[in-house]
Structure 1
Amino acid sequence: MKLKVNDITLNVLVEGDDKAPPVLLLHGFPDSSKLWSGQIKPLVDAGYKVIVPDLRGFGESEAPTETSAYKMSNGISDVTALLDELKVDKCKVVGHDFGAALAWGLAISQPDRVERLCVISVGHMGAYFSAGGIDQKKASWYMLLFVQEGTAERLLQAQDWQLLKAITSPGVPDDALQAYVTDLSRPGRLTAGLNWYRANHNMESFVALEPNNDIPGVQMPTMGIWPTGDHYCLEVQMLASESKVPKGCWRYERLESPSHWAPRDKPQEVCALLLDFFKQDFPQNKL
C-alpha cells in the first residue's frame, strides 16, 4: 500500500492480523522491503503483524531530490508518522545496515514506541568507530566513496555496475544483484540511496579520530546480530554496543553467514533468533 506520512509517500507492506503484536522491519542500502521477504511469512505465521516500508528513496517509495531530505531525523519522523498512521503505539523493531542505524535512532529518540530492538550488523553509533577504531574505518571505506557526489555514481555504474556488484558480493545471488541494478538504474534512485550517507556523514567526521561518546543509550531489551561474513561492520563495534543497553537486557548472536546481508543469506536462522528473542524474559530495569 502507499501511505502519505511526514509529507512523503511511502510504499509499505503490512501483513498479518491487525490485532497481532506488531513488528517493524527496516532495510538499508542498496535494499528495499524485499530484503525481508524471507522473514515476513514466518513472523506472520508465528502470530505477528509485520510492517515493512520501503524507506524514502528506495523501492517504490517517494525519492526527494534534496540531500538534506535524507537526514536521520527525517527517517525517524517517517517511521514515527507511519506507526501513527497505522495506529501502532509500540512495536518490536528490527533493522539491518542503515536500517539498523535508523532503528537505534528511533529507539533513542522515541523509546516509548519501541518494545524490543534487534539490530543486524550495525551497532550503536557511539560504539561504531569508538570501539572499532582505525580498523572499522578501513572496513567502512565505501562511506568515503558514497559521500562523493557524482564520483560515486559514476564509479558504481561503470562497466555494468561492476563496483556495486563487487561491494555486494560474495554470497549475493545473481538475481539479487540484478534486482539491485534494476532498482538503482531508475532515474535519481542511486543518488537517493547514496544521499542517506551524504546527509548523515562527511569526510571530516569520518577521518576525525575523536569518537562521539555522548550519544545516549537505549532503554529496552536489545539483540545484536553480527554475520561472520560481514567485512564492512566489524564484530567489535557490535560487542561494544552492550554498554549502551540496560544491564541484563543485551543479547548477542554471532551468526554464520557468507556476507553482510544476513536477512537474505540466512532467512530461517534470522527468523529463529527473532522469534526466540521476542519471547525471551528480561529484567525491567532501565538506563
Structure 2
Amino acid sequence: MRAGVLDVAVERHGDRDGRSVVLLHGFPYSARGYDDVVRLLVDTGHDVVVPHLRGYGGTRFVDDATMRSGQQAALGHDLRALIEALDLDRPVVVGYDWGGRAACVVAALWPELVSGLVSVSGYLVQDIASAAVTPVAPHLEKRYWYQWYLHSERGRAGLAEHREEFAQILWTEWSPTWRFGDSEFAASAADLHNPDFVDVSVHSYRHRYGLVDGDPAYEDTERALAQAPVIAVPTVVVDPTEDTVAALYGRPDHAAHVTDLRAVREVACGHNPPQELPGQFVDAIRILTA
C-alpha cells in the first residue's frame, strides 16, 4: 500500500465491515508478534490491519532520497498516512514500543482520525529537550546500553553485522519471564533484514537525544510534540509488570497525559505483551471495541 513516503507492507484480516483496529509493533520485533492477537480479534468480527513499520519486513521508501528517519514524528506521519490510504473509519490504534509511540502521536495530534488508543506503558511521546541534558539514576541508565551503543559508528556497524543476536539479547533482557522458541524468534528476525533497518534504528536512537537533526519535513510536528500534547481520545493503558526497560508508572501518571483514561491493565509479562499474553492483550483492546 502506497502511504505517504512509504510502500507499506501491510496485512489485513477479518471483516472489512467490522470495527477497525490497527496493530503496531516495536523495535526490534515485527508484525509476527501480533499473529495470535489477530486470530482472536478476527474471531469476534474485527477488521484488523497490521503494518510493518519503516525499516522492517517488506516496507520500503518510495524515494531513495528520503531521509531514513526513525524520529517519533516520522512514525506518527506513517500511521496517519496509512489510515488515510486505507480509508479506515476512525480505527482503534494499538501499539507497544515504537508502535505505541506512533499511536500516541496520532491520538494526540490528529484525534479526529481515531476512535481510541491502546498503548503499552502509557504516554510515549518523547521529551527530546529534556532527554538531551537530564540524566537519570545509574541503575536506570544501564537499561539503555543499546541506545548509547547506537550513538557510535561502532554501534552502527555492530547492529548491521549482528542484528539478529542484538535483537535476541533485547528480547531476553526486556522480557525475563518469557520463554520464546527459536522458530518464534526466527519468524520476526527475518524482518530485521530490511535494507533500511539499521539506518532508521540508528537515527531513532540518536534523534531522541538531540544528537542529530530530524527530517525537515517533520519539523512542525516535532515542535507540536515538544509541547507534550495531551491525549483526549478514549485510552486503555497496558502496564507490563515484568518489563525491565520501561517503567511502571501507575494510573496517576497516565491520567496526567490522558483526559479520557478508560482503564489501566497491569499484566504479568515483559516488554512485548501481545506476543507474551495475547489473550489478556485482546481483552484490553475489547474495552474500546465492544
Please confirm whether the aligned pair reaches a TM-score higher than 0.5, indicating the same fold.
yes
User: CA offset at residue 61 of structure 1?
Assistant: 0.5
The answer as to 2:186 corresponding to 1:178 is yes
On the 8 A contact 1:222/1:245 being kept in 2, the answer is yes
Are residues 140 and 250 of structure 1, via their aligned partners in 2, closer, same or farther at CA, if it must alter by over 3 Å? farther
Superposed CA offset, 1:224-255 (max 9, x none) = 111122100010277512211116x3411110
Residue 227 of structure 2 is aligned to residue 214 of structure 1 = yes
TM-score, normalised relative to structure 1: 0.80
Q: TM-score, normalised by structure 2?
A: 0.79
Q: Is the 8 A contact 1:24 1:52 kept in 2?
A: yes
Distance 1:238 1:167 in 2: 27
- Partner Cα distance (2:124, 2:110) in 1: 15
> Is 1:39 matched with 2:42?
no
The alpha carbon displacement at 1:65 in A equals 7.6
Q: 1:274 to 1:231 in 2, by over 3 A?
A: same
Picking from 181, 201, 218, the partner of 1:193 is 201
Q: Which residue of 135, 139, 143 corresponds with 2:143?
A: 139
Structure 2 CA distance for partners of 1:164 and 1:239, relative to 1, 3 Å:
farther
* Residue in 1 that maps onto 2:6: 8
* CA distance 1:162–1:82, shift in 2 (3 Å): closer
Report if aligned partners of 1:147, 1:201 keep a CA contact under 8 Å in 2: no
8 Å contact from structure 2 (residues 56, 193) kept in 1: no
Aligned partner of 2:284 among 270, 273, 276: 273
Q: Report SS of the residue matched to 2:200.
A: helix
The structural deviation recorded for 1:200 is 3.8
Conserved? CA contact 2:95–2:120, under 8 Å? yes
Stretches of structure 2 that go unaligned for 5 or more consecutive residues are 213-224
> Paired residue for 1:166?
169
Corresponding residue for 2:218?
Answer: none
Q: 1:232 to 1:86 in 2, by over 3 A?
A: same
Aligned partner letter, 1:219:
A
| Aligned pairs (5 A) from 1:41-80 | 41-63=39-61, 67-80=67-80
Q: Does structure 2 retain, via aligned residues, the 8 Å contact 1:139–1:234?
A: no
- Aligned residue for 1:235, secondary structure, equals coil
> CA contact under 8 A between 1:156 and 1:164: conserved in structure 2?
no
**CA–CA distance in 2 between the matches of 1:176 and 1:195?**
27
| Matched residue, 1:208 | none
1:35-72 Cα shifts (integer Å, max 9, x gaps): 21111121122121111111111111015686553333
CA distance in 2, matches of 1:122, 1:194: 24
Find the aligned partners of 1:218 and 1:160 in 2 and give their Cα distance.
34
2 CA distance for matches of 1:168 and 1:243?
30
Bigger relative contact order, structure 1 or 2 (CA pairs below 8 A, ≥6 apart):
2
CA contact (8 A) 2:234 2:288 kept: no
C-alpha contact 2:7 2:59 (8 A) present in aligned 1: yes
Residue by residue over 1:196-230, the C-alpha shift from the partner in whole angstroms, topping out at 9 and shown as x without a partner, is 333444459xxxxxxx9830111111111111221
Give the SS at the match of 2:108: helix
Q: Quote how far apart the aligned CAs of 1:265 are.
A: 0.9
Please report the RMSD computed on the Cα atoms of aligned residues, expressed in angstroms.
3.1
Secondary structure of the corresponding residue to residue 52 of structure 1:
strand
Report if aligned partners of 1:146, 1:197 keep a CA contact under 8 Å in 2: yes
**Relative to structure 1, is the Cα distance of residues 162 and 65 closer, same or farther in structure 2, using a 3 angstrom cutoff?**
farther
> Which amino acid counterpart does residue 289 of structure 2 have in structure 1?
F
Gaps in structure 1 of 5+ consecutive residues: 205-211, 280-287
Equivalent position of 2:256 in the other structure: 243
| Partner of residue 264 from structure 1, selected from 272, 275, 279 | 275
Preserved CA contact (<8 Å) 1:123 1:238 = no
Provide the secondary structure at the position in 2 that maps to 1:47.
coil
Indicate if the aligned counterparts of 1:91 and 1:113 stay in contact, CA closer than 8 A: yes
Q: In 2, Cα distance between the equivalents of 1:183 and 1:92? A: 25
Report if the CA contact (8 A) 2:273-2:281 is conserved: yes
The residue type paired with residue 252 of structure 1 is: V
Kindly state the Cα deviation for residue 30 of structure 1 after the two structures are TM-superposed. Answer: 1.2
In 2: Cα distance, 1:65 partner to 1:201 partner = 24
Deviations 1:151-192 (A, max 9, x none): 223434667854432211042332233344433245443333
> Which of the residues 153, 165, 174 maps onto 2:156?
153
